[in-house]
A and B are shown apart, each in its own frame.
Chain A
Amino acid sequence: MAKRKTTRRAFLKGSVAIGGAALTAGTSVKASEGDPLITETQEWAQFTGDGVDATPYGMPIDFESDVVRRNVEWLTADTISSVNFTPIHALDGTITPQGCAFERNHSGAIELPKEDYRLMINGLVDRPLVFTYEDLERFPRENHVYFCECAANTGMEWAGAQLNGAQFTHGMIHNMEYTGIPLRALLNEAGLKPEGSWIFVEGADASSNGRSIPIEKALDDVFVAFKANGEALRKEHGYPVRLVVPGWEGNMWVKWLRRVEVTDQPIESREETSKYTDTLADGTSRKWTWVMDAKSVITSPSPQSPITHKSGPLVITGLAWSGHGAITRVDVTLDGGKNWFQARLAKPGERKALTRFYLDIDWNGKDMFLQSRAHDETGYVQPTKEQLRNVRGLNSIYHNNCIQTWWVKKGGEVENVEVS
């Protein structure tokens, strides 16, 4: 048996040097001499770790502290009525952990206790009703995975490549497994009157964020959620109850849901007239652009997730989604659109949920212009930025689902660019 004597102090001193060496040399060290991480006894192999009472609710380990939501200070006047971005460049799979799922608030993330929660159904119903949180838990329950994308996701990129990171260009999206009840169960409980053609939904926060939704959608798949990824919603996502409007823009997913009114007309609230309307080149604007069209982005490599190894095997991965249904195919190009390859879907696409794709290549170490292109079940193919600009001009802000280009340089560094 080899004699390996390590004191705790000696180890700690040594680990700094080892860490530094590992960073510069990468993981492909020539094994001319034994890797001290293997030949020397490590701290974690010798001493004990934390007890089971150390973290009653666990947070990610310190080494992952850069995988966090970030905001862009110059975007909004303050951080209360603002947005932050999911670190999609550092995540894999499709489910977004709640703790780093983007948030968009119009009057801040409020704290509303379950006991004080009330949901009112009123308007064109036989019986206007008030539900407590406990009442909601007694309805037959369902589970669904859906993506939630802000209509303004990629909105800063209309006029040109602007923000250097997938988190900032595409991070106003998350994908969770929701537990809750279909809204139609609540409407049925109140007794929908035949003249009810719209619903108006609002939150309990100071912004109220009221939105109008056609009754057909309300009775189709609109969902009242109180759990996400198995646990209670986070306050920033509408604890204790939020609305889920599958495939439609995130602004309609009213948080802290307090009221659903059945009406015979749209209310044309601030959020559906002055905002979330898409201005075209001639100065007219589209309204009621609710559906999020098919879109995809390569999450790695990307500016915040550069290639840190030499040429050879490289995993290119990204996300694709469509508000019209399931993703059926994703194409990836390495040369800015000259030639395309079909990527491998990690699982068959699920309706109105994120799909993970991979393209495993043998990188030659040279420059690449990476793009991905999503196809959905309706036959829709994700357009180029040029195609979108030709229809809409540069000022529509919302619903930018264009193909994104990442310029991978020789050293592995990546930049957000536009190409001809």
Chain B
Amino acid sequence: MSKSRNLFITSGLSLIIVLALAYNFADRNITQLPSEPRMVNAEYDFDLRIIAAANAANAPREGNGPLGLGRKALLEEINAWDLEIAPDGTGLPIGSGSVSYGEEIFSEQCGACHGDFAEGVDRWPELAGGEGTLADEDPLKTVGSYWPYLSTAWDYIHRSMPYGYAQSLSDDDVYAMLAYILYSNDIIDDEDFVLSNENFLDVEMPNANGFVIDDRNTTEYPFFSANPCMEDCKLSVEVTMRARVLDVTPEDDGS
């Protein structure tokens, strides 16, 4: 009997032993796998709700949504982030601020960019003036001349200003700054005016009715859909404007 046959028999025996062990372990000690994993359907809505109902007892579901992902937001967390103010005043906190205090803090916190009188410095935005210029060749769009809602200004100052140090202003500071901006725009004439959550909705913004909802589907689309001319569409073509004459393109520094 050759060595090789001996080896063959030995390895054959080993294989049987291993298979037997595997079978026994699989049977006794390993949870049987289901024939197919449970699927979470990407096209859900109802599907997810059905799966959620079926699985309700199976898994701890922290967020309690259909997939049980995420966790419930705490009230203090919602209050920390849910800051925006709607045009009807929803979200506006209790508080107030005067024109005179507003002038003081505006010049400290905002003047470097917006100018002491909200007239703007360099290319930073002008916040005052421009009333009646919207149909001009060069309209000046400011809080006074353009912004339709006072809530927008309160919200933006409170959430995003001063530029480079956002969310550092108290509610009363925001009321005061806004009172001063209204005064700078001649929307408020009284230098003793105090803006508060009480009188906030009484302020009339000059351009409140200056906006229409997107009407391209009636003013443009019907006219921009004709089957266009493909041949002999024009008699002559003349250059009417050249970018090179204007010369405002940045010099190439990349190559």
Contact = CB atoms under 8 A, between A and B. Distances in A.
A and B bound? Answer: yes
A163 B242 CA distance: 9
Given A139-B67, A274-B146, A381 B225 contact: yes
A285 B211 contact: yes
Given A65-B255, A130-B70, A338 B237 contact: yes
Nearest to B121: A77
Contacts of A165: 249
Contacts of B149: 268, 273
B31 interface: no
Nearest to A265: B86
Contact of B224 (A206, A335, A387): A387
A419 B252 contact: no
Contacts of B45: 184, 188
Interface stretch (A50-58, A67-75, A231-239): A67-75
B34 to A, nearest CB: 20
A77 B244 contact: no
Given A127-B63, A206-B160, A379-B225, A107 B86 contact: no
A139 to B, nearest CB: 7
Task: Give chain A's interface secondary structure class.
Answer: loop
A66 B1 CA distance: 78
Contacts of A387: 223-224
B81 A129 contact: no
Interface string B50-81: 00000000000001111101111100011001
A100 to B, nearest CB: 10
Contacts of B220: 293, 383, 391
A417 B239 contact: yes
A265 B87 contact: yes
A11 interface: no
Interface residues of B, number: 89
B101 to A, nearest CB: 23
Interface stretch (B2-10, B151-159, B190-198): B151-159
Nearest to B215: A286
A273 B148 contact: yes
A191 interface: yes
A164 B152 contact: no
B25 interface: no
A254 B62 CA distance: 27
Interface in B116-130: 122-124
Contact of B236 (A188, A394, A420): A420
B81 A190 contact: no
Contact of B228 (A81, A381, A416): A381
Contacts of A395: 137, 139
A202 B80 CA distance: 13
A212 B167 CA distance: 21
A131 B69 contact: yes
B214 A142 contact: no
A129 B85 CA distance: 21
A138 B69 contact: yes
Interface stretch (A29-37, A38-46, A275-283, A308-316): A275-283
Contacts of B214: 286-291
A188 B238 contact: no
Interface string A280-310: 0111111111110100000000011000000
Interface stretch (A2-10, A17-25, A255-263, A349-357): A255-263
A281 B230 contact: no
B184 to A, nearest CB: 16
Given A73-B250, A338-B233, A340-B228, A268 B66 contact: no
Interface in A192-218: 200, 202, 206-208, 210
Given A270-B156, A338-B234, A395-B139, A76 B239 contact: no
Contacts of B146: 274, 285
B48 interface: yes
A129 B239 contact: no
Contacts of B35: none
B241 interface: yes
Interface string A391-420: 100110000000000010000000111111
Contacts of B151: 268
A269 B211 CA distance: 14
Contacts of B244: 164, 415-416
A208 B159 contact: yes
Given A140-B41, A270-B155, A287-B212, 9 more contacts: A168-B250, A206-B163, A258-B81, A261-B84, A274-B146, A286-B215, A336-B234, A391-B223, A415-B243
Question: Nearest 6 pairs between A and B by C-beta?
Answer: A283-B135, A336-B237, A189-B65, A283-B134, A66-B255, A140-B42
